[in-house]
A and B are shown apart, each in its own frame.
Chain A
């Protein structure tokens, strides 16, 4: 049971980060570190409608590792002069065991000042299933030009049906150029760090 739960958590560890599709020919590297696991996720965008990636996660307590292949498909995008809205379908499958897999519907709407995003993820392992919902909203306290240091104040809330407990916590997002860093803290899950670099 514990191993299954670990695998399910590792499978969805990095997929909640934003910007899952880059520009055509662009690469993105993400790293995450938290009390439960550390991991790295890389994705490549061959076409503006989808990206392909590989993910590796290591559980800190059991020292188990888990790798998966991922596909993100852009279902719908709406660009306006001041905003962008996206709807994605994401899926991932374990490289060692294809019975471990997930699929998710995620979306976001963003202006230079305001961000709102959600995800609904169904994760399945051998004999186990987990459904998780997340919602994240944020505001930029100041507007910087391209190349400036940008800051976002965010709040994320998530709930899964395995422990049936909703957690809500603050997230700070910083980014400059192609680099992004997110730091979140909750007394239950402790500190979480996400790094992203696009090139």
Chain B
């Protein structure tokens, strides 16, 4: 009985793994050729080699129309309400180097798009976040 149970568990886990790989391959094919949120692409473009924790659908939506831009993914601490989000949007909205902003309260992530020619100054981003009374835990640059 025990062996049958173990065998069924093994078979079902193998089937699940195979299904996951199938989805993975299809997504890889869909996202060829441009900066996209799928793991296989986004990881290639990370400069620090770390895994990027950002909602893929949200990232894709953000990249529409700015495919050639580099993106700073900023993890922010203390961002708990719309007032915080609004302050960040206003602060970075005044920065002419920033072409698009997205604030996600749920994940505590801020996406900042920069044209390829623009400098991305991490210290300046941290300072601007601090001027909103918040702290930066990590900044990851994607697409450069």
Q: A96 near B: Cβ within 8 Å?
A: no
State the main secondary structure of chain A at its contact with B. loop
- B: number of interface residues (CB 8 Å): 26
Q: Which of B77, B81, B91, B106 is within 8 Å of A23, CB to CB?
A: B91
A167 to B91 CA separation, bound complex (whole angstroms) = 40
A22 to B83 CA separation, bound complex (whole angstroms) = 8
Q: Which of B12-20, B60-68, B116-124, B127-135 is near enough to bind chain A?
A: B127-135
CB-CB contacts below 8 Å: B60-109 with A: 75, 77-78, 80-88, 90-91, 103-106, 108
A48 touches B133 (CB 8 A): yes
Q: A98 near B: Cβ within 8 Å?
A: no
A48 touches B130 (CB 8 A): yes
A110 touches B87 (CB 8 A): no
List A contacts of B75 (CB < 8 A): 81
Q: How large is the interface on A (under 10, 10 to 19, 20 to 34, 35 or more residues)?
A: 20 to 34
How many residue pairs, one in A and one in B, have C-beta atoms under 8 Å apart?
A: 79
A198 touches B134 (CB 8 A): no
A146 to B80 CA separation, bound complex (whole angstroms) = 10
A81 to B131 CA separation, bound complex (whole angstroms) = 17
Known contacts A48-B133, A80-B78; A26 and B85 CB within 8 A of each other: no
What are 30 sample pairs from A and B whose C-beta atoms fall under 8 A apart? Answer: A23-B87, A23-B88, A23-B91, A26-B87, A26-B90, A48-B130, A74-B133, A77-B133, A79-B77, A79-B135, A80-B77, A80-B78, A81-B75, A81-B77, A81-B108, A84-B78, A84-B84, A84-B133, A110-B81, A112-B80, A145-B104, A146-B82, A146-B86, A146-B103, A146-B104, A146-B105, A147-B85, A177-B82, A180-B83, A198-B87
* A residues neighboring B (CB under 8 Å): 19, 21-26, 48, 74, 77, 79-84, 110-112, 143, 145-147, 150, 175-178, 180, 198
